[in-house]
Amino acid sequence: MGPSNAPWHVSIDLAEEDGMTILSFAHALNAADEPSSFGPGWVYYLARLVADRDGAAMPRWDDYYPAMAKHYTD
């Protein structure tokens, strides 16, 4: 089952700690949503953010999904 058509409830918080920025991210899923459909995508997007910041090669989607789906299902 993929993502539902219900609104997404996402929160993002940035805080400074010891001269570093801490990113806290939460996505409250709806009852019909499957974590295995969302978790790998968010990790992938955050990995892209880090790669861009570091000037590194962009990660490959195939390394995240379906490889990480079971982690989010469990």
Of 48, 26, 45, nearest in space to 35 by CA: 26
pLDDT of 4 strictly over 70: no
What confidence score (pLDDT) does residue 3 get?
61
- Global pTM? 0.79
For residue 7, whether the previous peptide bond is cis, meaning omega lies within 30 degrees of 0, is no
What confidence score (pLDDT) does residue 71 get?
94
Would you kindly state where each structural domain of the chain is located, as residue ranges?
9-73
| Location of structure tokens 């962009």 | 58
Cα torsion angle, 7, 25, 46, 68, sign: negative
Residue type at position 70:
K
pLDDT digits (tens, 9 = 90+) for 12-66: 999 999 999 999 999 999 888 899 989 999 999 999 999 999 999 999 999 999 9
